[in-house]
């Protein structure tokens, strides 16, 4: 749990330091590339992620690595800070949280839309416009197909679910009928 809250704080700080979608995408990709490098080199991962190696040595190795990589200055500074504070082990969690923190900082709402069949472009745009007005934010839709819904849609915003599907209506009707007995 502590790692998640730490990762969220680091991701929030990085998201606030980045300016523009291009810089965000660039840094996110570079952090992912660096995490991939660590995953493919077990000894390097051990050196940078554990407290076994002295901080000065760890920082020297990080600086040497970053000199060979053509990373954005903010990504470089961020990775150096993680090495200095012995937080490289949570880089993967930070990168996952960065998406959420960036979207929050930019006023973007991500909503999952479940439907029995694929929404066409017009349906998707209309739904996105309606939700953007309702939430007064830019909305990104993640469309998923769920044939069990039969018809209609189900929306998920974080942990809140709005069910406008035929299956959901039938289940609610069933519950009411059972309650009335």
What are the boundaries of each domain within the chain?
A: 2-104, 107-180
Rounded Cα distance between 41 and 27, Å, is: 21
Mean pLDDT of 154-167: 87
The confidence score (pLDDT) of residue 98 equals: 92
Q: DSSP letters along 13-71, please? A: HHHHH--SHHHHHHHHHHHHHHHHHHHH-HHHHHHHHSSSS-HHHHHHHHHHHHHHS--
The confidence score (pLDDT) of residue 9 equals: 93
* Helices 91-105/21-40 angle, 10° precision: 170
Q: pLDDT per residue over 65-118, tens digit each?
A: 888 888 999 999 999 999 888 899 899 999 999 988 998 888 888 889 999 889
The confidence score (pLDDT) of residue 168 equals: 83
What predicted TM-score, i.e. pTM, was given to this entire model?
A: 0.70
Rounded Cα distance between 129 and 110, Å, is: 13
Which CATH code of 1.20.120, 3.40.1340, 1.10.8, 1.10.520 fits the domain covering 2-104?
A: 1.10.520
Rounded Cα distance between 58 and 105, Å, is: 32
Which residue matches tokens 């998406």? 99
Q: Please check whether residue 104 is in contact with residue 54, taking contact to mean a CB–CB distance below 8 angstroms.
A: no
Phi and psi at residue 111, to the nearest 5°: -130, 130
């Amino acid at each position: 749990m502590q790692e998640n809250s730490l990762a969220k704080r680091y991701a929030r700080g990085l998201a606030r330091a980045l300016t523009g979608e291009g810089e965000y995408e660039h840094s996110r990709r570079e952090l992912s590339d660096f995490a991939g490098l660590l995953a493919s080199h077990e000894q390097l991962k051990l050196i940078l992620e554990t407290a076994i190696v002295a901080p000065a040595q760890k920082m020297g190795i990080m600086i040497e690595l970053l000199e060979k990589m053509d990373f954005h200055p903010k990504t470089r500074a961020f990775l150096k800070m993680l090495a200095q504070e012995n937080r490289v082990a949570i880089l993967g969690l930070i990168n996952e949280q960065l998406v959420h923190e960036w979207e929050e900082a930019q006023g973007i709402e991500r909503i999952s839309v479940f439907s029995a069949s694929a929404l066409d472009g017009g349906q998707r745009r209309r739904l996105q416009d309606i939700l953007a007005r309702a939430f007064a934010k830019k909305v990104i839709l993640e469309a998923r197909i769920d044939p069990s819904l039969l018809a209609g849609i189900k929306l998920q915003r974080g942990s809140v679910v709005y069910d406008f599907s035929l299956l959901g209506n039938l289940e609610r009707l069933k519950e009411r009928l059972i309650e009335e007995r």
